[in-house]
Chain A
Amino acid sequence: MAEALIPTRCSALVIGGSAGSLDVLLEIFPLLETAINFPIILVTHRKSGNDSLLADLLQSRTGLKVKEAEEKEPVLAGYVYITPADYHLLIERNKTISLDYSEKINYSRPSIDVTFQSAAEVFKDGLVCILLSGSNADGVEGLKIVNNLGGLVVIQNPNTAIMPYMPQQAVNNVKRHIILDSFAMAEFINKLNR
């Protein structure tokens, strides 16, 4: 991994994923350092229903504090915020969370595009976004904006993704990006922590 690509600071990390991304998250989380000096926001497509399930699952594998994102709460370093099913998650100028029940984007709510874009507008070049496995093109438009506003784009290697379509769309359409295998992701995130 080229060290030069690691940004000098990371203000926030947003991870987006759809079908096939849970396996990657379960692989990454046990390897993360337990004191991380930026917030992590997760946006994954899933059925509405038992919201706390994913939070419990990830919490059992990390020392970071994992919680379902709540309306108007500030995003704090060292926390992992999970986007609730059936709501879009946006970041406000004062770095608090807004939930939004507007139209689905790319047939999805939450939409990864929505969170990537709104985080990019707030964190600009301090933002790092990771796009994982999935089978639609959600996230790609958001990553373009992340790119334009100076943030760093990381894409799971489509060859190692259970559903390669989503990361492949990002590779094809987002100009500046890094491609990582899932096993290299935890190390990459830990290196952002400095």
Chain B
Amino acid sequence: MISEAIDNEQVDALLSDVLEVHGYDFLEYSHASIKRRITRLYTLDNFVSFAEFRYAVKNDKQYFKRFLEEITVNVTEMFRDPGFYQSLRNDVLPVLGTYPFIRVWVAGCSTGEEAYSLAILLRELNLLQKSLIYATDINPSVLEKAKKGIFPLNYLKGYSENYVNSGGVKDFSSYYTANYSLAKFDESLSSKMIFSTHNLVSDHSFNEFQLILCRNVLIYFDKELQHKVFQLFDNSLEKLGYLALGSKESLDFWPGAKQFKRIKLEKIWRKL
């Protein structure tokens, strides 16, 4: 019987190093997913032994940067789950529009596709000028990409379909300039965004928001860590503010959930 490329004990040892040396705590991440990411990177980078891999992660700063980029999942898209964005457009943002100022936190924003989607919605509802979108991620290199607002052109057809399915009626291509294989989104959208690193595991609340979006991030956390992050969101949300999660994530089973009311069928909750 052949054993696995990297076993559970090795994963735990590596993650302990990462916490000790670099201060990033992945120990409460879902084990199966993080193990798969680690094994994938180990195989991809052709290390001859686990010891060598562990040494590089521990001591080589450049390599750790790569490790951090590859170990976290940075797959995202614009207007993913059109029904969700429709609900934001019709049910949530009009309510926030009655406030003098709108603060939104996109937690775990990755390369920024959701922040830009949100900015487009706010623009179409004439609310962008009084809004500020805080987009944060654990990973500094994805934030650099997010700031630029440049996405591969071949994804834009799918994004445009999502946009239309979410109730968008404008010409989606009016929001970006195509140049060879890239699409650069209008800078007036990103002018209302603030990008910053934030680690949901270890960093605290930094403001009060009326809307927090954190979609397909919590699936990578174990239950205890999920509950801690819900507490962090609760502390960062104004009364009557909204919390939006991914389509397979839920506030149910978190003891604080009774202070929240779910909006319709989408994964959006309002703080009571």
Contacts and interface: CB of A to CB of B under 8 A. Distances in A.
A101 B31 contact: no
Interface in B18-40: 30-33, 35-37
Contacts of A193: none
Interface stretch (A22-30, A33-41, A91-99, A159-167): A91-99
A149 interface: yes
Interface in B225-272: 226, 246, 248-250
A99 B219 contact: yes
A148 B1 contact: yes
Contacts of A103: 75
Chain B interface: which size bin? 20 to 34
Contacts of B8: 93
Nearest to B7: A121
B60 interface: no
A114 interface: yes
A150 B1 contact: yes
Given A71-B248, A90-B32, A91-B32, A102 B73 contact: yes
A148 B2 contact: yes
Given A92-B30, A92-B32, A100 B248 contact: no
Contacts of A148: 1-2
B266 to A, nearest CB: 14
A72 interface: yes
A87 interface: yes
Given A72-B223, A84-B248, A98 B2 contact: no
Contacts of B220: 98, 100
Given A93-B8, A148-B2, A150-B1, A98 B32 contact: yes
Given A87-B248, A93-B31, A103-B75, A98 B1 contact: no
A135 interface: no
B160 interface: no
B4, B36, B75, most chain A CB atoms within 10 A: B36
Contact of A102 (B31, B37, B223, B250): B37
Interface in B29-88: 30-33, 35-37, 73, 75
Nearest to B72: A102
B216 interface: yes
B137 to A, nearest CB: 15
Contact of A71 (B1, B2, B4, B219): B219
A87 B30 CA distance: 15
Nearest to A51: B247
B36 A114 contact: yes
Given A101-B216, A101-B219, A148-B2, A92 B31 contact: yes
A57 B59 CA distance: 54
Contacts of B250: 71
B114 to A, nearest CB: 13
B30 A98 contact: yes
B39 to A, nearest CB: 9
A92 B31 CA distance: 6
Given A90-B33, A92-B31, A92-B32, A100 B219 contact: yes
A188 to B, nearest CB: 23
Contacts of A102: 33, 36-37, 73, 75
Interface string A145-160: 1001110000000000
16 contacts: A70-B248, A71-B249, A71-B250, A72-B226, A87-B219, A87-B248, A90-B32, A91-B32, A98-B219, A99-B248, A101-B219, A103-B75, A117-B36, A121-B32, A122-B32, A145-B4
Interface of A: 70-72, 84, 87, 90-93, 98-103, 114, 117-118, 121-122, 145, 148-150
Interface of B: 1-2, 4, 8, 30-33, 35-37, 73, 75, 216, 219-220, 222-223, 226, 246, 248-250
